Amino acid sequence: MSKLRVVHYINQFFANIGGEEKADYKPELREGNVGPGLAFQQSFGEEAEIVATVICGDSYFNENVDSATATVLDMIKSQNPDLVICGPAFNAGRYGVACGTVAAAVKKEGIPVITGMYKENPGADMFKKEVYIVSTKNSAAGMRDAVKKMAPLALKVAKGEAIGASAEEGYLPNGIRKNFFEKKRGAERAVEMLIKKLNGKEFETEYEMPSFDRVAPGAAIKDMSKAKIALVTSGGIVPKGNPDHIESSSASKYGQYDIEGVTDLTAETYETAHGGYDPVYANEDADRVLPVDVINEFIKEGKIGSLHKYFYTTVGNGTAVANAKKFATEIGQKLVDDHVDAVILTST
């Protein structure tokens, strides 16, 4: 019996080409396995062989989604694969979106495919209902564990074997439910779980509920005429040219920019880096997203005390929750250190 032909998709980092400075790397097809492909090859044993690896920089892919997807898909199809593996991407947002996009495109061609990423990766929410996404740890330190779960599932998918429940196979729940007869009825199972919970014992719920942060609102500002106000936005407003190269989606960074003395954000000086909405109106007048002009009018009228000299900006489009929390913590501490009284947070 001949080995299954496998094509592996990875980014520039896992191909050992470089980090962020090489994120604009264009799609490339290489023979055999590269980087983490070796671990997959060892796990496959004699059942499958990685015949080729497709590499693409995260920034290049996400900034040229349509053309990059088409190019990558053509490279994959040229190898006549029986199976495609994308990633794993762990918690790398742009990589996760790329893996999910490639996997979805491959599946539409009728080629078996799986990918892997951390549950909070934006690519997970975007594609978990379209393709099998194996749940991984949040960093590359979990590569061994990821391969251990991904390889067996990949072979089952390639062979067309029956795939079990997400809890059994290790993939993220995809919303598909199947009826089956359980030995104990639901009421009995629910009571057993409740008793375990009341006694402080471990139990596994059959329907996991989403967990949302609860943030207590701050006290109202008593006198706005004396307050120092800061502007923060997820609308991607940046100085012309986007000097810090904030990504158009799945942002891995935020920017801090000095607006001391600036009373108007003009088309010649500011623009948006956001890739999730039509940028025309924001580029014409960035004050539409970050109201520097109106704040300065209020200051002149005595309605607001002052405007903080820095504004903070990032892109909310597909950005991982973990990254968003990290940005908020860092920005929040800076605002506290600078004795800012209140923040106006704008979106798109």
> For the segment 169-182, what is each residue's pLDDT rounded down to a tens digit?
999 988 777 777 88
Specify the DSSP class assigned to residue 292. H
Mean pLDDT of 304-329: 90
The ranges of the chain annotated as CATH 3.40.50.2300 are: 4-169
Per DSSP, the three-state class of 266 is coil
Q: For the chain, how are helix, strand and coil distributed in percent, rounded to 5?
A: 35, 20, 45
Pairing of strands 48-56, 28-31: antiparallel
Share of the chain above pLDDT 70, in %: 99
**Sheet harboring 306-313: ordered strands across?**
255-258, 306-313, 228-233, 342-346
φ, ψ of residue 343 to 5 degrees: the values are -125, 135
Q: Is the pLDDT of residue 280 over 70?
A: yes
Q: Which long-range contacts (CB under 8 A, 24 or more apart) does 161-166 make?
A: 163/132
Specify the CATH number of the domain 4-169. Answer: 3.40.50.2300
Mean pLDDT of 192-205: 92
User: CA 246 to CA 272: how far, in whole Å?
Assistant: 10
pLDDT in tens, 234-250: 999 999 999 999 998 88
What burial letters (b/e) apply to 68-90, b meaning 16+ CB within 10 Å?
A: bbebbbebbeebebbbbbbbbbb
Mean pLDDT of 116-126: 90
0.85 exceeded by the pTM? no
Residue whose C-alpha is closest to residue 49's, from 88, 81, 76, 86: 81
Q: Is the pLDDT of residue 209 over 80?
A: no
